Amino acid sequence: MAGARNEQLVEKIKEAADILDIVGEVVNLRRAGRYYSGLCPFHAEKTPSFFVDPHRQLFHCFGCGAGGDVIKFVMQHRGLSFSEALEFLADRYNIRIETGRPKTESSRTALLFRYMAIAEEFYYRQLRYSSEGSIAREYLKKRQIDDRIVEEQRLGYAPQSWDALVRHFKEQGLDLQKGVELGLFGIASSNHSGERFYDRFRNRLIFPIRNARGQVVAFGGRTLEEGNSHNEPKYLNSPETDLYRKRTILYQFHLAQEACRKQRQVILVEGYMDALAFHRAGFYRVVATLGTALTPQQARLIKRIADEVVLVYDGDEAGKKAMIRNFPVLAQEGIQASCVVLPEGMDPDDFLRKYSLDDFQNLMNSRMDLGEFVITETLNSWDGSTSGKMKVLSELFPYLEAIPHPVVRAEYIKTAGLRLGIADEVINEQFKLWRKTSTDREKPEALPPNPIKITPRNKPLTKLTYNPTNCVFSLEEEIIKILVAYPHLAEKAFEKDCWQFFLDNLPEDTSTKVTWQILKAFHEEWLEISQNEWNKNKFCVDRIYDRIKDPKARDLFSKMIFENKFCGNETTACLFLNDYLGALQKQVFKLRRSQLMRELAEAERKGDNEAIKSTLQKIQRLTELKDLRGN
Ligand SMILES: [Zn+2]
């Protein structure tokens, strides 16, 4: 890939890719203030020190120092080169790469998708046309799943055979090993016949599971075994594969995404049949979790397409419990959630078969805020005694804890207080106490670590330390810290003529230093923006990150962004910046002069008169510059 094309591609990819998506596939991310945190995938740890900044699209680990943008993450996590990582992301986000060779051959992922499509077609044909498939067709009829749904979903049937799909793959000349990687086949090895591949799905109704773009990434299979003599699970899903990360997929998301455009509200159900029951009724704003508790990644998918999610689970105790369990995740992601309680013993499929979609809409009109539902259900377990109040409250606290917004939490506390006959303040106090002891116990919520407190205020300016081990002048770092917090102050820094002085007089051995690369990137960005109309809002650090080419400088910069160490206000920042720039100027002056003095000594040793003369001139100009600036 050529340079210019590459840069354009990087820009396109970074525009399309969401670092939360990509990191979220491998790290269980939870919101922690303005960041997301989780266990670092690059080093072993038990408490999260790995952070993702969704606004700046950067990650950083305070444990091992890994950090960077989405491309860097893919490179490091998948062990890919830069261009391989670009290819991977381009493929993921459907961005065309002009490589000169056909894209289908350039990408392993594309190949895997093709294999899944072949399996999908095979199962579909079995359901549609094979005589064996009649058992599945009967079942669908019984469940009132009509042809329209079968076509739309490309439902399928996996025959009662150990190698129906294996044989089909062989006939097509496909790589069986890839089928294993995709979770379609298992391998049995025996002494006499060596390795044998077998179908994972047998005698099952097949539900293709698709990603947001509608590509098949996995299959779910419902057993059609009568009486289930083989102790097979009722539902069997594909295992995790390179295409399928369970935590990040919502069943029917691709259709719901489209349907939610007009009305940003989505129904969340538990299983295949529930979701398809809504489709049958002509209602497509529905997604399903497929039997697991909602993950933060799935919650963020929901947030992408809807402003409100309505949980519609089975109308029994288990269903209610499952809805309640999802509350913390939704609350933490700040998603407005409500729920509908179906008549006892009914699931959404039952309800929609017995009643109409209009009846369901009526139920929707009386839906309950999920937080209030959680409180009501929890308080229902209160036995009415005074001692029971504390017990109920302690059950409630974990849910309150999950609510990031203090106003919302106060509302819930008020509701609970009214029901229990306790003053809000008392609940608040108890909650604080509970919070303190529970954080001491297990520290459930990771917050960005508070970095070592060296505020500019208490750091003596006169003691400028050069630390040879990491090759960093602390002064420059302090300046960057301020610029990270207030990027637009770069205007002040660069309009001062001292900046040119730095660039002109920077001793050679320092010009490659990481901090200087960062400052230069700030300068370049400022130059570009200031050429057009100066707009301080346009000046932001993520663009500067892209300008830094040196990997070490990038790492340092993303670390500094995450630490965001400067905590003063803008006025203080201005004052400090002035001081630092002045001090830096002195420092650069000294460095430059001692370098010139060394050169002079060397020239004198050699008796090189030309060199002596030019060096002396340089020293003189430097002194004049310094006097000019009144230092
Ligand atoms: Zn780490």
For 310-344, write each residue's pLDDT tens digit.
999 999 999 999 999 999 999 988 899 999 999 98
Both 470 and 619 in one domain: the answer is yes
CA of 63 to the centre of ligand 1 (A): 5
- The predicted structure's pLDDT at residue 507: 61
- The tens digit of pLDDT for each residue in 373-391 reads 999 999 988 888 888 888 8
Note whether residue 477 is domain-resident.
yes
CA of 67 to the centre of ligand 1 (A): 9
Task: With H, G, I as helix, E, B as strand and everything else as coil, classify residue 378.
Answer: helix
Whether the pLDDT of residue 440 is over 70: the answer is: no
Q: In this structure, are strands 30-32 and 35-38 parallel, antiparallel, or unpaired?
A: antiparallel
CA of 484 to the centre of ligand 1 (A): 22
As a whole number of angstroms, the distance between CA 536 and CA 530 comes to 9
Supply the DSSP string of 501-547, one letter for each residue: HHHHH--GGGTTSHHHHHHHHHHHHHHHHHHS---GGG--HHHHHHH
Residue 509 confidence class, pLDDT cut points 50, 70, 90: low
H or E element: which one contains 268? strand 265-269
Identify which of 173, 194, 174 has the alpha carbon closest to the alpha carbon of residue 184.
174
Identify which of 395, 401, 404, 396 has the alpha carbon closest to the alpha carbon of residue 435.
401
- The predicted structure's pLDDT at residue 521: 85
CA of 455 to the centre of ligand 1 (A): 26
CA of 483 to the centre of ligand 1 (A): 26
Burial of 22-31, coded b for 16+ CB within 10 Å and e otherwise, reads bbbbebebbb
Chain position carrying tokens 């057993």: 223
Whether the pLDDT of residue 467 is over 60: the answer is: no
What mean pLDDT do residues 211-218 have?
91
Both 169 and 254 in one domain: the answer is no
Question: Is the CB of residue 117 less than 8 Å from the CB of residue 216?
Answer: yes
Q: Per the structure block, which two tokens stand in for 273?
A: 């049949």
Q: For helices 3-16 and 70-78, give the axis angle rounded to 10 degrees.
A: 100
As a whole number of angstroms, the distance between CA 509 and CA 181 comes to 51
CATH number of domain containing 98: 3.90.580.10
What mean pLDDT do residues 426-444 have?
72
CA of 563 to the centre of ligand 1 (A): 15
CA of 605 to the centre of ligand 1 (A): 52
Note whether residue 568 is domain-resident.
yes
CA of 364 to the centre of ligand 1 (A): 45
Least confident window among 140-154, 272-286, 414-428, 527-541: 527-541
- The predicted structure's pLDDT at residue 447: 38
Both 505 and 611 in one domain: the answer is yes
- The tens digit of pLDDT for each residue in 12-48 reads 888 888 898 899 888 988 887 778 889 999 988 888 8
Both 95 and 197 in one domain: the answer is no
Q: Which residue type, as a one-letter code, is found at position 447?
A: L
Residues in the chain: 631
Question: Is the CB of residue 593 less than 8 Å from the CB of residue 501?
Answer: no
Q: Which of 344, 367, 390 is the last residue of a domain?
A: 367
Both 537 and 434 in one domain: the answer is no
Contacts of 38 (CB under 8 A, 6+ apart): 23, 27, 28, 29, 30, 48, 50, 52
CA angle (147 as vertex; 133, 340 as ends), nearest 5: 110
CA of 20 to the centre of ligand 1 (A): 17
Note whether residue 277 is domain-resident.
yes
Note whether residue 198 is domain-resident.
yes
H helix and E strand count, the chain: 28, 18
As a whole number of angstroms, the distance between CA 306 and CA 36 comes to 20
DSSP at 293: P
**What residue numbers bound the domain in which 35 lies?**
3-106
What mean pLDDT do residues 401-408 have?
84
- The predicted structure's pLDDT at residue 512: 59
- The predicted structure's pLDDT at residue 445: 37
DSSP lists the bridge partners of residue 474 as none
- The predicted structure's pLDDT at residue 219: 97
- The predicted structure's pLDDT at residue 498: 67
Residue 482 confidence class, pLDDT cut points 50, 70, 90: confident
Alpha carbon 114 to its chain centroid, in Å, reads: 27
For residues 107 and 208, which has the higher predicted lDDT (pLDDT)? 208
As a whole number of angstroms, the distance between CA 490 and CA 482 comes to 9
- The tens digit of pLDDT for each residue in 226-270 reads 775 667 788 999 998 988 988 889 999 999 998 998 899 999 999
CA of 49 to the centre of ligand 1 (A): 7
Q: In this structure, are strands 466-467 and 265-269 parallel, antiparallel, or unpaired?
A: unpaired
Note whether residue 68 is domain-resident.
yes
Both 179 and 123 in one domain: the answer is yes
Q: Which of 106, 133, 155 is the last residue of a domain?
A: 106
CA of 38 to the centre of ligand 1 (A): 10
Whether the pLDDT of residue 420 is over 80: the answer is: yes
Both 144 and 34 in one domain: the answer is no
Chain position carrying tokens 């901090």: 515
Q: Which residue type, as a one-letter code, is found at position 298?
A: Q
Least confident window among 17-21, 60-64, 98-102, 363-367: 98-102
- The tens digit of pLDDT for each residue in 71-130 reads 999 999 988 888 889 988 988 887 877 655 444 444 778 889 999 999 999 999 999 999
CA of 81 to the centre of ligand 1 (A): 20
Whether the pLDDT of residue 517 is over 70: the answer is: yes
Both 464 and 594 in one domain: the answer is yes
Least confident window among 311-315, 472-476, 599-603: 472-476
Whether the pLDDT of residue 446 is over 70: the answer is: no
The beta strands (E) that lie in 342-417 are given as 368-369
Domain count, the chain: 5
As a whole number of angstroms, the distance between CA 534 and CA 556 comes to 28
Both 233 and 256 in one domain: the answer is no
CA of 295 to the centre of ligand 1 (A): 22
CA of 66 to the centre of ligand 1 (A): 6
State the greatest distance between any 2 C-alpha atoms of the chain, in Å, as a whole number.
104
CA of 443 to the centre of ligand 1 (A): 19
CB atoms inside a 10 Å sphere around CB 150: 18
CA of 50 to the centre of ligand 1 (A): 6
What mean pLDDT do residues 440-447 have?
41
Both 238 and 252 in one domain: the answer is no
- The predicted structure's pLDDT at residue 7: 78
- The predicted structure's pLDDT at residue 65: 84
As a whole number of angstroms, the distance between CA 362 and CA 351 comes to 13
How distant, in Å, are the alpha carbons of 267, 359, 573 from that of 262? 14, 22, 46
For residues 252 and 563, which has the higher predicted lDDT (pLDDT)? 252
For residues 9 and 352, which has the higher predicted lDDT (pLDDT)? 352
Both 238 and 265 in one domain: the answer is no
Confirm whether pTM is higher than 0.85.
Answer: no
Average pLDDT over all residues of the chain: 83
For residues 509 and 113, which has the higher predicted lDDT (pLDDT)? 113
Q: In this structure, are strands 265-269 and 308-313 parallel, antiparallel, or unpaired?
A: parallel
Share of the chain above pLDDT 70, in %: 87
Q: Which of 82, 106, 130 is the last residue of a domain?
A: 106
As a whole number of angstroms, the distance between CA 81 and CA 79 comes to 7
Q: Per the structure block, which two tokens stand in for 487?
A: 């990027």
CA of 62 to the centre of ligand 1 (A): 6
DSSP at 450: -
- The predicted structure's pLDDT at residue 252: 97
CATH number of domain containing 279: 3.40.1360.10
Both 270 and 221 in one domain: the answer is no
As a whole number of angstroms, the distance between CA 10 and CA 16 comes to 10
CA of 395 to the centre of ligand 1 (A): 34
The helix, strand and coil proportions of the chain, stated in percent and rounded to the nearest 5, come to: 55, 10, 30
- The predicted structure's pLDDT at residue 444: 35
Note whether residue 376 is domain-resident.
no
Whether the pLDDT of residue 627 is over 90: the answer is: no
CA of 168 to the centre of ligand 1 (A): 44
Note whether residue 420 is domain-resident.
yes
- The predicted structure's pLDDT at residue 626: 66
CA of 43 to the centre of ligand 1 (A): 5
CA of 449 to the centre of ligand 1 (A): 14
Residue 605 confidence class, pLDDT cut points 50, 70, 90: confident
Note whether residue 450 is domain-resident.
no
What values do phi and psi take at 532, rounded to 5? -90, -165
